[in-house]
Amino acid sequence: MIAFEYRTPKSLKEVYADLREFGTDAKLIAGGTALVIMMKQRLVRPSCLISLRAVRGLNNIAQKDGGLKIGGLATHREVEISSLVRRRTALLAETYRHVATIRVRNMATVGGGLAHADPNQDPPPTLIALGATVKASSADGSRVIPIEEFFTDYYETVLKPEEIITEIYVPKLPAGSGGAFLKFLPRTADDYATVSAAAVVTLDRSKKTFADVRIALGSVGTTPIRAREAEAVLRGQPVKPEALREAAEKAKAAVDPISDFRGSSAYKKEMAGVFVRRALEKAVAGLTARKAKAKTSRPAPRRRRR
Q: Which stretch binds another protein (CB under 8 A): 13-21, 103-111, 124-132, 230-238?
A: 103-111
Q: What dihedral do alpha carbons 147, 149, 155, 160 form, nearest 10°? A: -100
Touching another protein, residues 275-304 (CB under 8 A): 297-300, 302, 304
Instruction: By CB under 8 A, tell whether 49 contacts another protein.
Output: yes
In angstroms, what is the minimal distance from the CB of 47 to another protein? 10
Q: Give kind and range of the element (H or E) at residue 87.
A: helix 83-88
Instruction: By CB under 8 A, tell whether 107 contacts another protein.
Output: yes
Neighbours of 241 (CB within 10 A): 9
Q: Which stretch binds another protein (CB under 8 A): 55-63, 94-102, 123-131, 219-227?
A: 94-102
Alpha-carbon distance values, 120 to 5, 159, 239 (Å): 30, 19, 30
DSSP one-letter string for 236-277: TSB--HHHHHHHHHHHHHH--PPPBTTB-HHHHHHHHHHHHH
In angstroms, what is the minimal distance from the CB of 135 to another protein? 25
Q: Which of 25, 153, 190, 260 binds another protein (CB under 8 A)?
A: 190
Sheet of 225-226, strand order: 177-184, 195-203, 210-218, 225-226
In angstroms, what is the minimal distance from the CB of 260 to another protein? 17
Q: Which amino acid belongs to residue 91? A: L
Contact partners, residue 37, CB within 8 Å, separation at least 6: none
Q: Which amino acid belongs to residue 92? A: L
67 three-class SS: strand
Q: Which of 18, 33, 170, 273 binds another protein (CB under 8 A)?
A: 33
In angstroms, what is the minimal distance from the CB of 262 to another protein? 15
Comparing CB distances to another protein, the nearer of 47 and 237 is 47
In angstroms, what is the minimal distance from the CB of 305 to another protein? 5
Counting residues that bind another protein (by CB under 8 A) gives: 32
Q: Which amino acid belongs to residue 150? A: F
In angstroms, what is the minimal distance from the CB of 98 to another protein? 11
What does residue 252 show for φ and ψ, rounded to 5 degrees?
A: -60, -40
Q: Which stretch binds another protein (CB under 8 A): 17-25, 37-45, 128-136, 164-172?
A: 37-45
Instruction: By CB under 8 A, tell whether 4 contacts another protein.
Output: yes
Instruction: By CB under 8 A, tell whether 14 contacts another protein.
Output: no
DSSP one-letter string for 163-208: -EEEEEEEPPPPTTEEEEEEEE-SS-TTSPPSEEEEEEEEE-TTSS
Instruction: By CB under 8 A, tell whether 244 contacts another protein.
Output: no
Instruction: By CB under 8 A, tell whether 206 contacts another protein.
Output: no
Instruction: By CB under 8 A, tell whether 2 contacts another protein.
Output: yes
* Beta pairing class for 141-146 and 133-138: antiparallel
Report residue 303 CA to chain centroid gap.
22
Q: Which of 17, 36, 44, 287 binds another protein (CB under 8 A)?
A: 36
Comparing CB distances to another protein, the nearer of 104 and 211 is 104
Sites of contact with another protein (CB under 8 A)? 1-6, 8, 32-33, 36-37, 39-40, 49, 51, 53, 100-104, 106-107, 189-190, 297-300, 302, 304-305
